[in-house]
C-alpha cells in the first residue's frame, strides 16, 4: 500500500513510518520544515512539503494514496486554532477518500469510565476540556458511512519508549528534579494506561491494513499502572523520596491526570486484529534508565 502519513517525524510517527516500511508499504510523509523533511527521508519515506493548513496539499496526497494515517496536530493541541485545523484536515481526507473503501486512521485518546475499566465499546462523548478534539474523532469515525474504512487508534496517557522527551513521564521527572521529591496524590492508587511506542506503531500498521470500517482500537499495553508505582520508579532513579502530596502541588493537565483513575482495556482490539504488545511495560521502561540520561 501507498500510505500518506501526517506527523511522520513526531514521537509516534517516527515509529509508525519504519514499521510500515518494514512491512513492505510505501510511505509518503507530510513535512512542514527542512528538519522534518530530512527526518522523513532518513527513514526511507517520500516527502510532501506542507502542514495541516495546506488543504490542497492534503487532498492531493490523499488522492494519490491507498490510505491515510493522521497523526499530526498543531500545538497546543487543544487550542481553537488546532482543533479547527484538525477538523478541516479530517474533512479534506474524507472528501478525497469518499466511496473508495480506503482506510482513514485517526488518533484519539482512551476514555475514562468512572469506577471501571474503559473499553473500545464505550460511548464516545464530546465533553470536558477536549470536547472539540473528541468531536473531531467522532467525525472521523463517522466517515465509515461515506464508504471509507475509518478507524480510531485510542492512545493512552503514556506512550513511552527510549527517546520520549515531551510526554507525561518526562514532565513528572522534570517536576521531581525541581521539587526534590517524586509525588503522587493521596494513596496513589489511581491508574494510568500505557503503551510502548513500538507496540502502538504496530497497531497503526494493523489498523491501516485490516481494521474494519468504524473500528475503535485501544492501543493499551498496561491496563492501569498505579501512579504511586510510577512515582516510586522515578524516585529510585533520581535518588529522591517518593511521597504523597496534596493536589495543589501540581497544576494544569498534569495535576488533573495525577488525580484521575483511567484504566483501559485493549482486549477487544487484540481479539479483532491479533495485536499483541511485546515491548516493555511502563515501569520496566522507566527502570531501563533512558529517561534519566
Rounded to whole angstroms, the Cα distance separating 28 from 17 reads 9
Neighbours of 145 (CB within 10 A): 10
Rounded to whole angstroms, the Cα distance separating 14 from 210 reads 21
Domain count, the chain: 2
Task: State residue 184's pLDDT score.
Answer: 93
**Are 137 and 42 in the same domain?**
yes
Task: State residue 248's pLDDT score.
Answer: 80
**Are 181 and 149 in the same domain?**
no
For residues 110 and 119, the answer to whether their CB atoms sit within 8 Å is: no
CA atoms within 13 A on the CB side of 62: 28
Range of 236's domain?
Answer: 163-192+222-262+280-292
For residues 20 and 65, the answer to whether their CB atoms sit within 8 Å is: no
In CATH, what number is assigned to the domain containing residue 124? Answer: 3.40.50.720
Rounded to whole angstroms, the Cα distance separating 205 from 153 reads 11
Distances (CA, A) of 76 to 80, 87, 133, 166: 9, 15, 12, 13
* Residue 274 counted as domain residue: no
Closest CA to 161 of 130, 200, 122: 200
**Are 77 and 178 in the same domain?**
no
**Are 95 and 214 in the same domain?**
yes
Residue-level length of the chain: 293
**Are 22 and 145 in the same domain?**
yes
For residues 3 and 67, the answer to whether their CB atoms sit within 8 Å is: yes
Signed CA dihedral, 172, 174, 177, 180: sign only: negative
**Are 119 and 169 in the same domain?**
no
For residues 150 and 106, the answer to whether their CB atoms sit within 8 Å is: yes
**Are 113 and 252 in the same domain?**
no
Task: State residue 76's pLDDT score.
Answer: 67
Residues of the chain with pLDDT under 50: none
pLDDT in tens, 41-90: 999 999 999 999 999 999 999 999 999 999 998 776 668 888 899 999 99
pLDDT in tens, 94-112: 999 999 999 999 999 998 8
160 forms beta bridges with 196
Is pTM beyond 0.75? Reply is: yes
Closest CA to 235 of 162, 160, 175, 145: 175
Amino acid at each position: 500500500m501507498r500510505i500518506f502519513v501526517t506527523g511522520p517525524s513526531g514521537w509516534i510517527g517516527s515509529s509508525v513510518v519504519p514499521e510500515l516500511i518494514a512491512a513492505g508499504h510505501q510511505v509518503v510523509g507530510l513535512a512542514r520544515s527542512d528538519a522534518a523533511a530530512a527526518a522523513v527521508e532518513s527513514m526511507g519515506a517520500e516527502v510532501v512539503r506542507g502542514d495541516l493548513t495546506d488543504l490542497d496539499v492534503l487532498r492531493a496526497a490523499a488522492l494519490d494514496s491507498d490510505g491515510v494515517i493522521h497523526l499530526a496536530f498543531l500545538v497546543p493541541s487543544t487550542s481553537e486554532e488546532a482543533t479547527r485545523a484538525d477538523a478541516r484536515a479530517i474533512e479534506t481526507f474524507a472528501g478525497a477518500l469518499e466511496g473508495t473503501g480506503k482506510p482513514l486512521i485517526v488518533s484519539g485518546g482512551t476514555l475514562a469510565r468512572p469506577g471501571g475499566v474503559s473499553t473500545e465499546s464505550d460511548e464516545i462523548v464530546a465533553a470536558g476540556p477536549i470536547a472539540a478534539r473528541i468531536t473531531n474523532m467522532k467525525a472521523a469515525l463517522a466517515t465509515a458511512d461515506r464508504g471509507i474504512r475509518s478507524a480510531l487508534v485510542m492512545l493512552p496517557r503514556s506512550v513511552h519508549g527510549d527517546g520520549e522527551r515531551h510526554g507525561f513521564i518526562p514532565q513528572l521527572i522534570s517536576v521531581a528534579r525541581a521539587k526534590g521529591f517524586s509525588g503522587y496524590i493521596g494513596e496513589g492508587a489511581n491508574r494510568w494506561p500505557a503503551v510502548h511506542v513500538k507496540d502502538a506503531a504496530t497497531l497503526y500498521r494493523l489498523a491501516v491494513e485490516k481494521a474494519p470500517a468504524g473500528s475503535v482500537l485501544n492501543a493499551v499495553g498496561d491496563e492501569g499502572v498505579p501512579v504511586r508505582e510510577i512515582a516510586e520508579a522515578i524516585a529510585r532513579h533520581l535518588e529522591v523520596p517518593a511521597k504523597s502530596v496534596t493536589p495543589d502541588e501540581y497544576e494544569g493537565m498534569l495535576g488533573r491526570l495525577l488525580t484521575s483513575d483511567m484504566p483501559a482495556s485493549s482486549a477487544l482490539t487484540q481479539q479483532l486484529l491479533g495485536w499483541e504488545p511485546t515491548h516493555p511495560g511502563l515501569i520496566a521502561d522507566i527502570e531501563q534508565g533512558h529517561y534519566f540520561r
